[in-house]
Structure 1
């Protein structure tokens, strides 16, 4: 049952990626919306879940927040190291394609955890499973949109962006199927969500949104960002 329901997440992720691909002539609007979706997912979905699930504090600070900051710093360090290495080989200030693939891979991992969450919820009961599946399926539009956008933004060819999109779409079904074999500890899941949230926030604040406003500092771009946050708020509210 859980795997069948996860098929909805597969389809919704592909729809999100297809949407991002079709509106490339309005790239600044795409990036503005992607930044808003990422900000909304981090602040309104991932971080609250991480704080609930990650367990006790470490030296007076919630474990999820420590890993959130760690994820932000990790993304910053990885990007700087790759940028310096690329500059040393005469590539100038262009973004390193490896960063896009790395972040997209992390998003695939997040989608895998979404599938695990669906499967675990169905182990508790059908009602819980349907509620969790609804939340996952709805926000997987944003996952597909962001996976394709991020991979493309860092200079990867279309074929690679589509491959990452398909992997992201398939991941929830794989995650749901895996719960037939094991159950992921709640604290481990919460820790992962905190770390991944930090990575996404860095990409949204330091890369996606600045790029969106670089050549088109228009009100429409800002409105797309606000709309992205509002969409995630609506999803969280309906799912809750």
Structure 2
């Protein structure tokens, strides 16, 4: 089941890459909605499940929440390190450094692999959790596909290499989800992982997806799409729990 659902990530990543080749003026609405969905999944599903499964406190704070903050910080540190590396290599002249574009795209492939593991791990909790996490992953994979193709091309790589990196990024979630068929994560470790993943997912939504959605189109429609995404997840998760 997890692998079949992860195929949605494969398709959405390719859609994002296709859009990058034919830039659409409605991209900001899709990203705004995706950001809202991700916020809803983290706040209404991942965090409650993680705290319930790993309630042990470390210096008065639940372990799941410590890992949640850890996930946020790790995502932030990795993103900053990549930005610094690009700056050190003269990111203002991207066409001269195709290897930097390949490196950045490879980092996105690794991130997508982790997304697939998160989908598989969530299905080990229950189907409802798996589907909500998969929905968040699938929606933000549009941005992943768009950015993978864009950053590869921006640093001087030809279209063939950009498409190859896009295909690798599209396949990564499926491979990650399939890997969880060969092992079962203990319940407490799974709860901790969901907390960590929730922090990383929140960072992606707050620091990358939503700012990108509003950068060129600071419109009310974008904000409404974000709110609609969060409200939709509230309704979906609430209905699943009833």
Other-structure match for 1:140: 134
* Residues 93 and 70 (structure 1), Cα distance of their counterparts in 2 relative to 1, 3 Å cut: farther
Check the 8 A contact 2:12/2:139 in 1, yes or no. Answer: yes
Q: Which runs of 5+ in 1 are unaligned?
A: 122-131
Q: Which runs of 5+ in 2 are unaligned?
A: 95-99, 153-161
* Residues 211 and 107 (structure 1), Cα distance of their counterparts in 2 relative to 1, 3 Å cut: same
Other-structure match for 1:12: 8
1:196-235 equivalences in 2 (<5 Å)? 196-235=197-236
Q: Residue deviations 1:186-229, cap 9 Å, x none?
A: 12111111112111211211221111111101111112212221
Cα offset, 1:116, TM superposition? 4.1
Match for 1:166 among 150, 164, 171? 171
Other-structure match for 1:33: 33
* Residues 50 and 139 (structure 1), Cα distance of their counterparts in 2 relative to 1, 3 Å cut: closer
Q: TM-score when scaled to structure 1?
A: 0.77
Q: Residue deviations 1:43-89, cap 9 Å, x none?
A: 12221111112240100001111111111112222222221221111
Other-structure match for 1:178: 182
Q: Which moved more, 1:59-68 or 1:77-86?
A: 77-86
Q: Which moved more, 1:188-197 or 1:133-142?
A: 133-142
Distance 1:105 1:87 in 2: 21
Q: TM-score when scaled to structure 2?
A: 0.76
Check the 8 A contact 1:17/1:165 in 2, yes or no. Answer: yes
* Residues 235 and 12 (structure 1), Cα distance of their counterparts in 2 relative to 1, 3 Å cut: farther
Other-structure match for 2:158: none
Cα offset, 1:159, TM superposition? 3.5
Q: Residue deviations 1:155-199, cap 9 Å, x none?
A: 243432332222213433442x224xxx32112111111112111
**Aligned length in residues:** 220
